[in-house]
Structure 1
Amino acid sequence: MTITALDFEGCYRAVSTRDSRFDGQFFTAVRTTGIYCRPSCPAITPKRANVSFMPTAAAAQQAGYRACRRCLPDAAPGSPLWNVRADLAARAMRLIGDGVIERGGVPGLAATLGYSQRQLTRVLTTELGAGPLALARAHRAHTARLLIQTTEMPMSDIAFAADFASIRQFNDTVREVFAVSPTTMRTESRRSPRTDAVAPGTPGLLTLRLPYREPLDTGWLTWFLSAHAVPGMELWADGVYTRSLRTPHGHATIRLSFQPGHVRAELALRDMRDLAPTVARVRHLLDLDADPMGIDGALGIGRADDAATPSSEAIAGHGFTPGIRVPGCLAGSELLLCTMIGQQISVRAAGTHIARLVDALGEPIDGPVPRLFPTAETIAEHGAEVLTGPARRVSAIVAAARAIADGELVLHSGRTADDLRRDLLALDGVGPWTADYVTMRSLADPDILLDTDLVVRQGAARAGIDLGDTTRWAPWRSYLSMHLWKTALEHRGALVREPALQEAKTHD
């Protein structure tokens, strides 16, 4: 979708019906007020002649519009287009969300993507209505709003944490984007029930509400997170997922729980500059930017009396539940190495092997989970001393870690699926299933069918689906894989079917 390809009638229809499914997919700019909103904004629908539609918040800001203080358009779930699309603009947006520009500037982003700065700027401006600097500025403004509204940090510290060059730039940007000063924004937030403010005296600790599009199949994510939790760096207890992760400037501990309309995320950050990339990685892990109603509709999931409308109960036909997500990852290198460790053994056995590796080589930290996953450099140097199992598999894992450490294998969200899969298959010990699984989860690729997976095949047999003819499920075959996986596990009694979480809407 380019800035010129937005369908006016379709967008206006979504705005007229306040359809929250489109929040984050485009923004409504109202010329008479100078404000831009999310499609579901509760304000009176503007007249056709007064509106235009923008593909990104940055495009609206670039055109001189300020964010609506009622619907908080920057707090909408991210656009699912950045996962569905594999073009340069989409890959750049994923990297911008991870804070690449803040760490390496536009030159760093262009180099990571393999393009010149000039070409990158031209493509992003054409496709998204704003260049890389404007997109990064919108990203910083969103980070600043989160810190202003959810912490008691001094404004000077927030400016630094959100990567503004100066206090003046921070103040000017907040006023321009949100039409209020940072101080006024904080005062207003204390009177609003939208955010979960953290009490003073807890530096580095934030509690955020990460919105998602409903419905959400919490049963599937609960099983996935709990079944794959590695003792020492992950914990699942009382409906809360806790784990440690490395961040660009240090490390963090996250605690996640599912709520109607949002995920409650408690973040303990060693460096506040890591807020934006940590939030982006959590959203990626839980696939929070997916469009479940669009996906379910394409897969034919809905009530028996209305196939286009998802239901919170199991449906007729294949017996799938609406709102399933494809779990992502927090670090591509960790995903690859853990997947290789778990090849040809059970999930529980894999957890035991990975826990041993974490205990021996993981960096100790303070908090409820005591260690970080070891770096690729550490595994390359000492992995052979800790890992057990067939010598060829241990050698392959160590070699993969060395390739990551030496920069021969690059694992980041800006890669194309074809290129990543090719590089993974070039590694000793990595076959098609591992390459597909890692590509699907690390890039949030929506269209990878795990048709060689035994459990997926069992699920297909129970659902009556022919895996030799799946073109009709494109481009959502990753989600089909998850449905089939879940179907087989339910039959085994490994997980209990739970209704999708779909209740009254709440906003960040």
Structure 2
Amino acid sequence: MQNGMHSDRERCVRAVRSKDARFDGWFFTAVTTTGIYCRASCPVVPPKPENMIFLPSAAACQQASFRACKRCRPDTSPGSPEWNQRADLVARAMRLIADGVVDRDGVPGLAVRLGYSTRQVERQLLAELGAGPLALARAQRAQTARLLIETTELPMAEVAFAAGFASVRTFNDTVRDVFALSPSELRARVPRRGGAGPATGTGTGATPGTLTLRLPFRAPLNPDNLFGHLAATGVPGVEEWRDGAFRRTLRLPYGHGIVALTPNPDHIGCRLTLSDLRDLTVAISRCRRMLDLDADPVAVDDQLRTDPVLAPLVDKAPGRRVPRTVDEAEFAVRAVLGQQVSTAAARTHAARLVTAHGDPVHDPEGGLTHLFPTPEALAEVDPETLAMPRTRRTTFTTLVRALADGSLHLDVDSDWPTARARLLALPGFGPWTVDVIAMRALGDPDAFLPTDLGVRRAAQELGLPATPVALTARAAAWRPWRAYAVQYLWATDSHPINFLPA
């Protein structure tokens, strides 16, 4: 896939005519004769090509006065893979908008996080996406509002403020503009179960603040290494595998949450319990990021198949994702705890910190007990209480202090080269630790681990070069998807991270 696919008219027309779901989220089709915009895979009869225009975002469609199709619901399609595989200004801005920064801090706050002026941010987003940050955030609020309208019985005023709208009037006007229906009409369209409210969501007997929804993705998706890795490395009290779902606690801007994520053939089941519904959009965004659901597996696998050594691995189990995180700083701390120790030992170290310094939460449905400690809380830990070698204690304390005082910034908007350089400057941070943080926390799809024991074992078994330098040279052909190549190499081992838990 290439950036700006919406400008390739011939390719877009072919995708619409074939109803190819792989292109959902890459571009949107606006139909000039009906005033409707759709996803590529819309099930209706395709319009005539001369009546189609192609736009790069739902916000651009809405800004051009097109309404969302009621059949294909284009606002619920997977997000564009562009924003998770790039580290430029536009991609960083889109990740921050998805994380709710514009709703909380406005466009000036977004610009400050990015280190640019508001005018520069607006100009670049408008040039690439056809919409500025306010329009993009508005489209996201509209999608959140529809989700709450259709899956809960909340009063409309509560829906409005939970979705991020400043007033009920703005909420009503936006919903009518985007969906050509009032909020009440949207809710009335939802199928009822025995007249007892929406079919999926908060109803009689449900836990307050709990929503059940579906997270879409581009097929194929292999859940084995994705959920296997998260479950096998889960920190007791913060994460668990229970009843076929990966569950964990979430630290969110307005409160906290607990999420249960269940793999299904055509979606990920998501059950969210939130202390404050204003965190819904952020919680969904972070869960999607953790599961790498906006990836383009066809593009990744096609590139890796060009290597005859990797091709059989890809063909055997295509669609592997990179297991990531909901909290970049948390993952960096856990990476240090896992240096040169087993998975079980790393979990034990983390669990002790969680019990001693994490914020307690109540989980009536399972065994989750705490939020992972903040860097500020960990910066107060007495190093002598840490059951690890002195050099690793120094690494740990230096990291958490840098995170706490802001001299090290790890977040969805991180500049990857800058973050790497600052990590490498810390004592005890070598290439493996930096690259695993880049891969799983920062989201760099090209991060590579040539010194990782599992990667080196797989390389030896497959007849690939054994030394890190030679293996890195061979892996140049896998770029820009070397982080995904790591998943296929790891999968040659019998480690629990490679298997969906029973």
Normalising by the residue count of structure 1, what TM-score does the alignment of the two structures yield? 0.92
Amino acid at match of 1:398: T
Amino acid at match of 2:396: I
Amino acid at match of 2:359: E
Q: What are the residue-to-residue correspondences of 1:10-409 with 2, within 5 Å?
A: 10-190=11-191, 196-200=200-204, 202-300=207-305, 316=312, 320-367=316-363, 368=366, 369-384=368-383, 386-409=385-408
Cα pair 2:410 2:442 within 8 Å, conserved: no
Amino acid at match of 2:159: I
Amino acid at match of 2:12: C
Deviation, 1:396, is 1.7
Cα pair 1:329 1:335 within 8 Å, conserved: yes
Cα pair 2:152 2:200 within 8 Å, conserved: no
**2:431 aligned partner:** 432
1:441 equivalent to 2:437? Answer: no
Cα deviations by residue, 1:230-279 (Å, 9 ceiling, x for unpaired): 11111112321111120011111111110121111111101111000110
Q: Aligned equivalents of 1:5 and 1:452: distance in 2?
A: 40
Measured at CA, do residues 437 and 211 of structure 1 come closer, stay the same or move farther in structure 2, by a change above 3 Å?
A: same
Amino acid at match of 1:396: T
Q: Aligned equivalents of 2:444 and 2:159: distance in 1?
A: 34
Which secondary structure does the structure 1 equivalent of 2:312 belong to?
Answer: coil
Q: Aligned equivalents of 2:313 and 2:358: distance in 1?
A: 46
Which secondary structure does the structure 1 equivalent of 2:289 belong to?
Answer: helix
Cα pair 2:229 2:498 within 8 Å, conserved: no
Q: Aligned equivalents of 2:220 and 2:138: distance in 1?
A: 31
**2:416 aligned partner:** 417
Measured at CA, do residues 58 and 251 of structure 1 come closer, stay the same or move farther in structure 2, by a change above 3 Å?
A: same
Q: Which moved more, 1:15-24 or 1:415-424?
A: 415-424
Amino acid at match of 1:97: A
| Structure 2: gaps (5+ residues) | 466-470
Deviation, 1:389, is 0.8
Q: Aligned equivalents of 1:74 and 1:223: distance in 2?
A: 30
Which secondary structure does the structure 2 equivalent of 1:381 belong to?
Answer: coil
Which secondary structure does the structure 2 equivalent of 1:243 belong to?
Answer: strand
Matched positions, count: 486
Amino acid at match of 1:62: Q
Measured at CA, do residues 107 and 376 of structure 1 come closer, stay the same or move farther in structure 2, by a change above 3 Å?
A: same
Q: Aligned equivalents of 1:215 and 1:276: distance in 2?
A: 25
Q: Percent identity?
A: 51
Cα deviations by residue, 1:154-177 (Å, 9 ceiling, x for unpaired): 110011111101000000000000
Cα pair 1:357 1:386 within 8 Å, conserved: no
Which secondary structure does the structure 2 equivalent of 1:266 belong to?
Answer: strand
Q: Aligned equivalents of 2:224 and 2:31: distance in 1?
A: 40
Measured at CA, do residues 207 and 4 of structure 1 come closer, stay the same or move farther in structure 2, by a change above 3 Å?
A: closer
Cα deviations by residue, 1:373-425 (Å, 9 ceiling, x for unpaired): 11111110025254211112112211211111111111111122111111111
Amino acid at match of 1:412: D
Cα deviations by residue, 1:196-222 (Å, 9 ceiling, x for unpaired): 233146431111100111111111123
Cα deviations by residue, 1:90-139 (Å, 9 ceiling, x for unpaired): 11101100001111100010000000000110000001100000000001
Q: Aligned equivalents of 1:301 and 1:188: distance in 2?
A: 48
Which secondary structure does the structure 1 equivalent of 2:229 belong to?
Answer: helix
Measured at CA, do residues 99 and 265 of structure 1 come closer, stay the same or move farther in structure 2, by a change above 3 Å?
A: same
Amino acid at match of 2:288: R
Q: Aligned equivalents of 2:476 and 2:43: distance in 1?
A: 39
**1:506 aligned partner:** none
Measured at CA, do residues 188 and 281 of structure 1 come closer, stay the same or move farther in structure 2, by a change above 3 Å?
A: same
Cα pair 1:252 1:270 within 8 Å, conserved: yes
Q: Aligned equivalents of 2:234 and 2:228: distance in 1?
A: 10
Cα pair 1:301 1:321 within 8 Å, conserved: no
Q: Aligned equivalents of 1:317 and 1:215: distance in 2?
A: 14
Deviation, 1:178, is 0.6
Amino acid at match of 1:397: F
Measured at CA, do residues 25 and 118 of structure 1 come closer, stay the same or move farther in structure 2, by a change above 3 Å?
A: same
Q: Aligned equivalents of 1:4 and 1:473: distance in 2?
A: 22
Normalising by the residue count of structure 2, what TM-score does the alignment of the two structures yield? 0.93
Cα pair 1:143 1:275 within 8 Å, conserved: yes
Which secondary structure does the structure 2 equivalent of 1:458 belong to?
Answer: helix
Which secondary structure does the structure 1 equivalent of 2:381 belong to?
Answer: helix
Measured at CA, do residues 383 and 322 of structure 1 come closer, stay the same or move farther in structure 2, by a change above 3 Å?
A: farther
Q: Aligned equivalents of 1:325 and 1:495: distance in 2?
A: 13
Cα deviations by residue, 1:404-448 (Å, 9 ceiling, x for unpaired): 111111111112211111111121221111111111112221111
Cα pair 2:60 2:131 within 8 Å, conserved: yes
Cα pair 1:2 1:127 within 8 Å, conserved: no
Deviation, 1:318, is 7.0
